[in-house]
Amino acid sequence: MPVPALPPLAEWESFYVIVGSSAAALTGLMFVVIALNSEARTEAGPTALRAFATPIIVHFGAVLLISALLSTPRHTIGSLKGCLLAVAVAGLAYTIRVIVLARRQSSYKPVFSDWLWHGMLPFLAYASLVVAGILLGSAPGAALYVVAAVALLLLYIGIHNAWDSAVWLTTKPRESPGAAPGSPDSTT
């Protein structure tokens, strides 16, 4: 059975320029938000940061990587399939690690929306990327639409989680300088 030809990726160039640039810009903004809030004391420890802050950057990075892969010239079905499957498997492994870290950390009790946006939706996105990688050999046109949907889903996951983090950081009471954590005058 002949292997279908890879549809021209040039047709996707504008899409991936926009999506990849958005992911890169939002990654930069996350660095700014984190830097501006670095002086604020928080109860969140390193495990909570790895569970709730770092994944935002990782998902934006995955979108940027997917955009770069789909913009790289001279891909064959095999090379693109291998690249997408590698990103997908790494994303699935990372998402499982995030779920474990979210369960293990004790500074914040995750609610359903946290599990949805930090666990279930990223898992769905990376699992869909596995499906796209597999489909690339038999239905490359459909697979490319799945990859585009995954890139958008990861971008929206990152946007939602960045907004959620920014709101949490700005609405969380700050401790006043010199006050013991948890003391009555530790909030202003």
Residues 140-151 have a mean pLDDT of 96
pLDDT digits (tens, 9 = 90+) for 146-174: 999 999 999 999 999 999 888 877 777 66
| More confident position, 187 or 159 | 159
Model-level pTM? 0.84
How far from the centroid of its chain's Cα atoms is residue 46's Cα?
Answer: 18
Backbone angles phi, psi at 163, to 5 degrees: -65, -45
The confidence score (pLDDT) of residue 186 equals 43
pLDDT higher than threshold 90 for residue 176:
no
| More confident position, 177 or 128 | 128
Q: What is the 3-state secondary structure (H, E, C) of 15-50?
A: HHHHHHHHHHHHHHHHHHHHHHCCCCCCCCCHHHHH
Which tokens hold the place of 21?
A: 């640039």
Torsion (CA) 123, 124, 130, 132 in degrees, nearest 10: -150
The confidence score (pLDDT) of residue 141 equals 92
Q: How many angstroms separate the CA atoms of 138 and 28, rounded?
A: 38
Mean pLDDT is lowest, of 3-17, 25-39, 115-129, 174-188, for 174-188
Q: Which residues, 6+ apart, have CB-to-CB distance to 70 below 8 Å?
A: 9, 12, 16, 80, 144, 147
Q: What is the mean pLDDT of the chain?
A: 86
pLDDT digits (tens, 9 = 90+) for 95-119: 999 999 999 888 778 899 999 999 9
For the chain, the structural domain boundaries read 10-39+51-170
